[in-house]
Amino acid sequence: MNRTDILLKQAKQRVLILDGAMGTMIQRYKLDEEDFRTPELADHPKALKGNNDLLSLSRPDVIKAIHAAYLEVGADIIETNTFSGTTIAQADYGLEHLAYQINYESAKIAKEAALEYSAKTPNQPRFVAGAVGPTNRTASISPDVNDPGYRAVTFDQLAEAYKEQVEGLLDGGSDIILVETIFDTLNAKAAIFAIQDVFENRGLPLDPADGGIPVMISGTITDASGRTLSGQTTEAFLISVSHIPLFSIGLNCALGAKELRPYLKVLAENAPFYVSAYPNAGLPNEFGQYDQDAQEMSNQVEDFLKEGMINVLGGCCGTTPDHIAALSRIASKYGPRKLELISDSDE
């Protein structure tokens, strides 16, 4: 049985637990500029502190320790440290040339940790989701209020950057590709196009049911309007990305669990795929910090579970291993959302 088949089997049996925030955990290490520099980057002219993806090259020990901390408390799926792992995002640091290497090494580190924990818990195999972030540019909205027709990036540029990222993630051993924190669906469509292209070139089936690499999609509802930054409702977002056989569709970031609930309900009632959610630890305070503790978050998430809305559950900004441990405990009391109910209602 290949890893995709194992994942699909696990998903039918229980709610799968995704890890929590990477950035929140990195902040605990109080790293300085030198920690972000490999020997080759000793004389790099730009400041590199804050380029967290680069730590997979300069401090792989830190990244692996963070993965281990999440696996230790029950995470089934850990995300690679590649949220900004495209040439487009790395251009801010003048490090476009390292994009492939960042993705490859990040996936390799995560896979090592996942396999170590899989060996410790044979009944709970662990998986690596290659994280594909939104980039820091949007294909649908002009960054210049005086020129609404202007775009800082094209679809083709995004697709090219995503293609390189996906190649690196797969070569490094990712079991899943996760396109996350989608604020612009056109960016996500470029990522999906790149994934299709890479899969086709590698002879990989697009449908995980045929043994292909599962693809997860996770959008971001940016505020109380209930829309993505590019203006789509949850239902419109679902329709826009439903043209390929996804493993899951879901929501992450921007909102806490309580605020995310009505939008998750839309997905749970309409999606022909599994549904994922990894909310922030509440809403940020006036200093931009997240105060919601693990108990409060798990209490709010329990509503999703009671209503049978969720298949994959984790945490985004502000969440730590304590939050994931609490989510893992509460999720173990409930079954996963049943896909059969959606299929039956469509007939």
Return left, alpha or beta for 233; rule: phi > 0 is left, psi -120 to 50 is alpha, else beta. Answer: beta
Report how far residue 233's alpha carbon sits from residue 227's, in angstroms, rounded to the nearest whole number.
5
Residue 258, pLDDT > 60, answer yes
72 known member of a binding site: no
Residue 150, pLDDT > 80, answer no
Residue-wise pLDDT for 229-242, tens only, equals: 877 899 999 999 99
Residue 226 vs residues 87, 255, 273: alpha-carbon distances, Å: 31, 10, 21
Mean pLDDT of 69-97: 97
253 known member of a binding site: yes
Mean pLDDT of 55-73: 98
Write down the CATH number for the domain with range 3-346. 3.20.20.330
pLDDT at 146: 81
pLDDT at 342: 56
Which SS3 state, helix, strand or coil, does residue 241 take?
A: helix
User: What pTM was computed for the model?
Assistant: 0.95
User: To the nearest whole number, what is the mean pLDDT of the chain?
Assistant: 94
Residue-wise pLDDT for 158-188, tens only, equals: 999 999 999 999 999 999 999 999 999 999 9
The token pair at 346 is 């469509």
pLDDT at 242: 95
Return left, alpha or beta for 309; rule: phi > 0 is left, psi -120 to 50 is alpha, else beta. Answer: alpha
Mean pLDDT of 258-286: 94
317 known member of a binding site: yes
Report how far residue 324's alpha carbon sits from residue 69's, in angstroms, rounded to the nearest whole number.
10
pLDDT at 131: 98
Confidence of residue 344 (pLDDT cuts 50, 70, 90): very low
Residue 147, pLDDT > 90, answer no
Residue 142, pLDDT > 80, answer no
Residue 345, pLDDT > 50, answer no
Domain ranges of the chain: 3-346
